Structure 1
C-alpha cells in the first residue's frame, strides 16, 4: 500500500508529509518527504486555539477558520509530494488532550482538529484519521501512537533501544530484545522553549540553542519544576502541550533573564528524560533522538550529560529525523485500513491491543 503520512505536531511550526510503501507491519520503500511551514498568522492562531480549547465549542467561527487554513496547508503538502498514493494518514492538530489521569475525574477527551472530508475531496484519496479517540475512550492515554512504527523501523538494530522524539512535548519508546514496548511522554521539550524564545526575544525558537547556551540554569526554578508530580508518576502517561504552563509560572520562571530561562528549560527537559529512564526494564544500548529538538546543540549536550548511554540523532540509524513522525502516520494509516492495533498496554495503558482510526473518502 502506498501512503502519504501527515503530521502537525505540538511545536505548531508546520505540516510534515512523507510517502511510504507499507502494509502497516513491514516498511518497504520510503519516498519523498517535505515540511511546509505555517505562516506566522496561522501559528499565532493555533497557539490561541490551545489557550482557548477548554472553552471552545465545535461551531466556534474562529475554530472553523483555523481548521480551514490548517487543512488547506495539508492539501498543499499532499499535492507537493506528487507521488501516487492510495491512502493518507492525517493526524490533524491536537488542541486539547485530557486522557484519564490520577486526580482528574473529568471525562477523558482528546481533540485533533482538521477537515478529513475536505482533504479527501481535494486530493481524491481516502483519508485515515481520528487515530486517538478509541484508545482514550477505552481508558488509554491516547499517546504516544508511534511506538509500533519505531519497532518496525528498528527491527535490525541492537536492543534494548530508546527512541526519543523531541517535539513540543518529548516522548520515548523503549524497545526490548523480545519486542516489548514501553512508551510515554517524558515531559516538556520544544514547546515551552519556543514560547519562551518568542516572548523574550521575538524569535520563533531558540535558533541553534544559542540563547540557552549563553545562560545558566536557575537552581531554584529547576528544583520546583522537578518536584512536579508528573515526573514521579509511573508510565504509561501523556501530556498536553500546555500542561506545564502553570508549573512554570509558579516556579518563578518569568523572573529569569532570557538566556537563563532558556537554559533552565533545556536542563529541565534533560532531567525529565533522565528520570524516564528509571522506568525501563533494562538500560538501552543507545538513545536515538528525532524531532526538531535534535537540532538544538544545547539540548543535545544536556541530554548527553544527563544520560549514561550514547545519545545520537536518528540519522545514525539511516532514519530521517525530519520525516519520521509523518512516515509513522503513513504506516499507521495502513494499520487503520487493515484493522491492526495502534496502541498497546505498554504504550498507552489500554487494557488490550486497541484498533482505532476512521477512513473517510473514496474506497481503495
Structure 2
C-alpha cells in the first residue's frame, strides 16, 4: 500500500490531513493541505475542537505522571487511557472536518500525538521523546493510512527530535515568494506555542531553526493555577502587572540561551512554578510574558542577518503584550500569518500533514541545521487501516 501512496503522489499533489495537540492541552487542531511532498499547492479546511474537561484532565494526569516517571521504571498506567482518549478525540475532530469538506478525499493523515516528555541529547547521549497516540487506532477510525511517531528516527540518529516544522515553514516561505513573484525566499516563521520556536531562512544559507525558550506554556500554567481560565486572554493580567526585570536578567543567563543551536526544550524546562511562584498573579503573568518575548528576540538576534519578514503563527500571536515586544524590535517586518494568506492557528497541524507526505515519499523531514542530526533523514511510521 505504501507503494500505492507513492504512485498517487507521483501522479500529482494529494490532499492530506494533519493534526496537532499542543502542550497547552486545549484541543485538537486538524487541517487539510494539498501537497506533492515538495510544494504546498492549496490549503483546505481546518478546525479546532476543544477537549472536554474530562479529556483535558486525563491528558493532564498523564503529563504530570510523565514528569514524575522521567523514563525510570514501568510506564505510568495513565498513559494507556490518555492515549486512547486523545486518539479518539483526533478521529472525532477529523470526522467533523470532513463532514464540511466537499473536495477530494484525503489519501493520508499525519498524526503528531501528545507530547508528554521530551529529553534532548546530553553530552553525547541520545535523547528520548514520547508522544502518546495510537496510530493504528486512528487509521482504523478514519479508514485511511496514518503516519505517526515522526520524532523518534531523528533522535535515534542523534538529533534533537525538534523542531520538525521547519521544512514546512520553508515551503510556506517559498510559496509566499512565488506569490510575490520575486523569487526571493527569506524571513522568519515564528511559532508561538507552548514552547516558542522559529525557522530562519535567507538566500545562500541553509534554514536554521530551534526552540527559543518558553512560549505560552508557563503563562497558561500560571493563569490556570490561579483559577482564572486556561490562558491570559488579551494579556489582561500581564498588562496589569509589573515586569520583574531583575528576574529576567537572571533567567536569561541559563546555559540554554547561550548554547549554540540546534537545541530543543521540554515544555516544563521553564515552568511557572520554578520561575514566579513568589509573585502576584499579575506580576507573574507580566514577567513570564516578557521573558517569553525576550528569549525570542535574543534568539533571532543570533542569526546571520536581520530578517526583513517575521511571520507570527500559533496561539501566542493573540497575546498583545508579546506582540508589542516583537513589534518594537521588528516594526513593519512583523506580520500576522493571515497577512500572507496562511492560517496562523493551523500551521502546526498543516506541518504534520506535509511531513506525512514526505515520510511516505522517503524525503527528509529533519536536517543538520534544524535538529542537529548528522545528515538529512526521513522518519515516521506508516500504518494502514485494518480491513
Q: Which residue of 1 aligns with 2:110?
A: 89
Q: Which residue of 1 aligns with 2:151?
A: 132
**Are the equivalent residues in 1 in contact too, given 2:65–2:78 (CA < 8 A)?**
no
Query: What is the CA deviation profile of residues 60-90 of structure 1, one whole-angstrom value per residue up to 9, with x for unaligned ones?
Result: 4321111111011101111112141110000
- Aligned counterparts, 1:155-234, within 5 A: 155=174, 156-157=176-177, 158-178=184-204, 180-234=206-260
**Are the equivalent residues in 1 in contact too, given 2:173–2:186 (CA < 8 A)?**
no
Helix, strand or coil at the partner of 1:154: helix
**Are the equivalent residues in 1 in contact too, given 2:115–2:132 (CA < 8 A)?**
yes
Q: Which residue of 1 aligns with 2:311?
A: 288
Q: Which residue of 2 aligns with 1:352?
A: 375
**Are the equivalent residues in 1 in contact too, given 2:63–2:117 (CA < 8 A)?**
yes
Choose 149-158 or 65-74, whichever is displaced more. 149-158
Pairing 1:10–2:31 present: no
Cα offset, 1:179, TM superposition: 5.9
Counterpart-to-counterpart distance in 2, 1:58 and 1:18: 35
CA RMSD of aligned residues (A): 1.8
Q: Which residue of 2 aligns with 1:143?
A: 162
Helix, strand or coil at the partner of 1:91: coil
Q: Which residue of 1 aligns with 2:36?
A: 23
Choose 49-58 or 332-341, whichever is displaced more. 49-58
Q: Which residue of 1 aligns with 2:326?
A: 303
Counterpart-to-counterpart distance in 1, 2:131 and 2:209: 21
Q: For the structure 1 residues 97 and 14, does the alpha-carbon distance in structure 2 shift closer, same or farther, using more than 3 Å as the test?
A: same
Cα offset, 1:50, TM superposition: 2.2
Cα offset, 1:59, TM superposition: 5.6
Helix, strand or coil at the partner of 1:259: helix
Cα offset, 1:214, TM superposition: 1.0
Query: What is the CA deviation profile of residues 198-234 of structure 1, one whole-angstrom value per residue up to 9, with x for unaligned ones?
Result: 1124311101111111112012322221121111111
How many residues in Structure 1 have an aligned counterpart in Structure 2?
A: 358
Counterpart-to-counterpart distance in 1, 2:166 and 2:32: 19
**Are the equivalent residues in 2 in contact too, given 1:19–1:81 (CA < 8 A)?**
no
**Are the equivalent residues in 2 in contact too, given 1:274–1:307 (CA < 8 A)?**
no
- Aligned counterparts, 1:62-77, within 5 A: 62-77=78-93
Which one of the candidate residues 345, 355, 377 is aligned to 1:322? 345
Q: Which residue of 2 aligns with 1:39?
A: 52
Greater than 4 Å deviation, 4+ residue runs? 56-59, 248-251, 306-309
Unaligned runs of 5+ in 2: 1-13, 178-183
